[in-house]
Amino acid sequence: MTRVDTNFKLVIFLLADLARHPVRVLLFLTLLVSAGAVILSAHNNRQLSISLERLMQEKDQLDVQWRNLILEQSALTEHNRIETLVSKQLNMRRPEADDEVVVKIK
Amino acid sequence: MTRPKTKVKDDAQAKQNTAPVGLQWRFIIVVGTIVLVFVGLSARAVYIQVIDPDLLIRQGDSRTLRTQNMPVHRGNITDRNGQKLAVSVPVRAVWADPKTVVQSGSFADKRRWQALAEVLGQDQQELEARVSNPKKRFVYIQRQVSPAMAEYVEQLSISGVYLRDESRRYYPTGEVSAHLVGFTNVDDQGIEGIEKLYNEWLTGSPGTRKIRRDGKGRQVEILSQQQGTTPENIELTIDQRIQALAYKELKKAVQYYRATSGSAVVVDVQNGEILAMVNSPSYNPNNRNGVSPHRIRNRAITDAFEPGSSIKPIAVLSALEFGAAKVKTIIDTSPGWMRLGGSMVKDARNYGKLDLTGIISHSSNMGTSKLALSVPRQFLIEQYYNMGLMSTSGANLLGESSGIFHEHNRWSDFELATLSFGYGLSVTTVQLARMYSILGSGGIKRPLKIVRDELPSQEERVFSELAAEQVLAMMESVVQKGGSGHKATVAGYRVAGKTGTSRKAIAGGYGEQYVNIFAGVAPVSDPQLAVVVLINEPRGDEYYAGDTAAPVFAKIMSSSLQILNVPPDDKTVSSLTSSARGTNAG
């Protein structure tokens, strides 16, 4: 009977078989890893797209806010308005020629 | 495979089943059916995925693909210090698709329509009538709705009523810079002033993005992106501080002297930049309801007037430049009138013998006429061209007039004489401002600028620096005590200017209406600013430029010089007295 050397231990048999083709095993493992990486990067891409959209919406909102704020600022700092306000509330006035002091730097 | 079956059966049965033909047949049927099913499935799969995949791709895309427009707003217009003169703010437009409105029966919910009509301030009946024609697919309900109102309309969620993004232009400076900046129409296109002139530059085109959304409506993939053109901003040479105070003074004057209109222009002599350009009456560009067109016109550039005495310096300058006269030359203007051709040239009274300074300060028509006739005709006419009175100012503004001037081949002496005291040609306020900026810059002619850029402007010397200085010195006498424009005095600064009171031409001669002009430059020792004030048809008791335009000039000039920190050059302010005062104060 020559069946004595037949190995019935499946795990050992499989491992031995695998060991005989290390390149293929490596390729197989690389394939698995790369498949995982594809999934991961696709997921990350989506997450980034989602946050990009959120950020762009935020940017638009801030832009709207900014536009309204500069409008408000321009209205509040309108030259004639400031001049009336300071002359009424702070008793300020334009300096006359007599008030001016010319400092000459040599 | 049939063996286990026969094993279970006893021998008698086994004998009967020696030939399992029926079983074989069934087996084939079963296998065949299963194979057929799988073949059918794969055929279908192949058909769907390979042969005709478009339908399902389309179906899938229509559920996930979206094209987004990225909002783009018109560029801002600012003054030279970055003060905003025009800003776009996003608003929404409410529109309806009448077909959807009618088909979905959204009229059934009267309360929502009532709320919509109320929030937009429209009549409910009218509103419903407008959207009840099912043949129409697009009707604007209201445009330029504020974001808060748009939110409310969105929450009403009436089927067939939608919102659209658009932007609205606001002008924070209101009527002060209205003429210059202009305005846009409801579609955000410039239709007046700078807004129209630089419409292309200010307008951008929206960029688009093709994106994929997941089931939750989140953007998961950007498929393609198309960059739009970003709108550009415009920086004007205007200084809004000067603009504001010039407008205030001009408006006050126009009301006080009950004038039809008024214009004022402030120009930086050194580079030809327009620092202020104002007109009265003005209008509110943010709300143009019921504004009559004459208020919208930028009179400083569109309306030409006979400039009167304000261009007398040209005659004197020509004589000096040609060498027909020296500063000290005495001209005899007596008896105060003379006949040229069949017509009369006369002064207000007999001034007797005058030197050139006297001619300018007394504004003697006789004097300028004699000076004008003392140089060759062609030379004289050329000076008017050199002063930019026959062309546009170079600022390239919308609707700018180049004045009225009739070029003759044969000039009569009388025509030349009238030209010398500012009749027989019409110029705009801006042209006059350019002429004075040429005088101020010592004879260097530059095109005026309204949009700020770093490009050096074309410069051209049109007469000698010496002649310009001499004429400025003569014009200083106008503003001094006893001169016709003494009300234009600016404390602390030496000012050179000239009044101009001209009668307005009507059909068949000159009428009783006047145009008052005061134009001048300051400080004389190193000219920085040229200011022209024009008051059109004052109906009050005062109608001489020395009484109406001169005081306005003084106020605009003094405040502008102060704002720009121009050092005073008049003797009244000296470092000596100020240092003495400084020690007292300190």
Convert the pLDDT of each residue in A4-38 to its tens digit: 566 578 888 888 888 898 999 999 999 999 999 99
List the structure tokens of A8. 């019935």
Nearest CA in chain B to A52: B219
Neighbouring-strand partners of residue B543 = none
Task: Report pLDDT digits (tens) over B47-63.
Answer: 988 888 888 888 888 88
pLDDT at B552 (0 to 100): 94
pLDDT at B10 (0 to 100): 52
Of A46, A63, A70, the CB nearest to B84: A70
pLDDT at A86 (0 to 100): 93
Phi (first) and psi of residue B206, to 5 degrees: -70, 140
**Probe site for chain B from A57, A102, A103 (most B CB atoms < 10 A):** A102
Lowest mean pLDDT among B203-212, B426-435, B553-562: B203-212
Mean pLDDT over residues B7-18, rounded? 53
pLDDT at B571 (0 to 100): 61
To which CATH superfamily is domain B240-563 assigned?
A: DD-peptidase/beta-lactamase superfamily (3.40.710.10)
Reported as half-sphere exposure (CB side, CA atoms, 13 A), residue A76 has a value of: 6
Q: Are B84 and A74 within 8 A, CB to CB?
A: yes
Q: Which residues of B are catalytic?
A: 309
Neighbouring-strand partners of residue B28 = none
Mean pLDDT over residues B213-226, rounded? 84
CA distance B375 to B413: 12
Rounded to the nearest angstrom, the minimum Cα separation between A32 and chain B is: 25
Task: Report pLDDT digits (tens) over B530-550.
Answer: 999 999 999 888 888 888 999
Q: Does A106 touch chain B (CB under 8 A)?
A: no
CA distance B561 to B559: 6
The neighbour count for residue A40, using CB atoms within 10 Å, is: 10
Read off the DSSP letter of residue B116: H
Nearest CA in chain A to B245: A80
The model's confidence at residue B577, banded by pLDDT at 50, 70 and 90, is: very low
Mean pLDDT over residues A40-62, rounded? 91
From chain B, the residues in CB contact with A94 under 8 A are 559, 562
User: Is the predicted pLDDT of residue B328 greater than 90, yes or no?
Assistant: no
Of B244, B578, B579, the CB nearest to A79: B244
Mean pLDDT over residues B556-563, rounded? 91
| Among B208, B127, B210, B116, residue whose Cα is nearest residue B163 | B116
Of A64, A74, A96, the CB nearest to B172: A74
CA distance B549 to B253: 8
Of B87, B240, B562, the CB nearest to A70: B87
Helix B413-420 / helix B312-322 crossing angle, nearest 10 deg? 110
Lowest mean pLDDT among B11-20, B91-100, B143-152, B294-303: B11-20
Task: Report pLDDT digits (tens) over B220-273.
Answer: 888 888 888 888 899 999 999 999 999 999 999 999 999 999 999 999 999 899
To which CATH superfamily is domain B68-235 assigned?
A: Penicillin-binding protein 2a (Domain 2) (3.90.1310.10)
From chain B, the residues in CB contact with A50 under 8 A are 218-220
pLDDT at A4 (0 to 100): 58
pLDDT at B520 (0 to 100): 93
The model's confidence at residue A106, banded by pLDDT at 50, 70 and 90, is: low
pLDDT at B584 (0 to 100): 41
**Distances in Å between the alpha carbon of B178 and those of B174, B302, B422?**
6, 15, 30
From chain A, the residues in CB contact with B579 under 8 A are 101
pTM (predicted TM-score): 0.81
Q: Are B492 and A94 within 8 A, CB to CB?
A: no
Residue tagged 């300060």 (tokens): B361
Q: Are B559 and A83 in contact (CB under 8 A)?
A: no
Q: Are A46 and B572 within 8 A, CB to CB?
A: no
Provide Rg for chain B, Cα atoms.
40
Domain ranges of chain A: 8-91
Q: Does A52 touch chain B (CB under 8 A)?
A: yes
Q: Are A64 and B173 within 8 A, CB to CB?
A: no
Mean pLDDT over residues B267-282, rounded? 92
Share of chain B above pLDDT 90, in %: 21
Domain ranges of chain B: 3-50, 68-235, 240-563
User: Is the predicted pLDDT of residue B6 greater than 60, yes or no?
Assistant: no
User: Is the predicted pLDDT of residue A89 greater than 60, yes or no?
Assistant: yes
User: Is the predicted pLDDT of residue B482 greater than 80, yes or no?
Assistant: no
Q: Is the peptide bond before A22 cis (omega within 30 degrees of 0)?
A: no
CA distance B122 to B307: 52
pLDDT at A101 (0 to 100): 77
Query: Rounded mean pLDDT of chain B?
Result: 85
Q: ipTM > 0.90?
A: no
Of B73, B220, B491, the CB nearest to A97: B491
The residues, ordered by sequence, that sit 6+ positions from B42 with a Cβ below 8 Å of its Cβ are: none
pLDDT at B277 (0 to 100): 94
Task: Report pLDDT digits (tens) over B455-473.
Answer: 777 888 888 889 899 999 9
**Probe site for chain A from B64, B74, B84, B210 (most A CB atoms < 10 A):** B84
Q: Are B338 and B365 in contact (CB under 8 A)?
A: no
**Distances in Å between the alpha carbon of B22 and those of A102, B5, B18, B338, B419?**
126, 14, 11, 144, 128
**Distances in Å between the alpha carbon of B173 and those of A62, B54, B83, B263, B265?**
23, 57, 9, 18, 17
Nearest CA in chain A to B580: A101
Lowest mean pLDDT among A3-12, A92-101, B156-165, B468-477: A3-12
From chain A, the residues in CB contact with B562 under 8 A are 94-95
User: Is the predicted pLDDT of residue B1 greater than 50, yes or no?
Assistant: no
pLDDT at B287 (0 to 100): 86
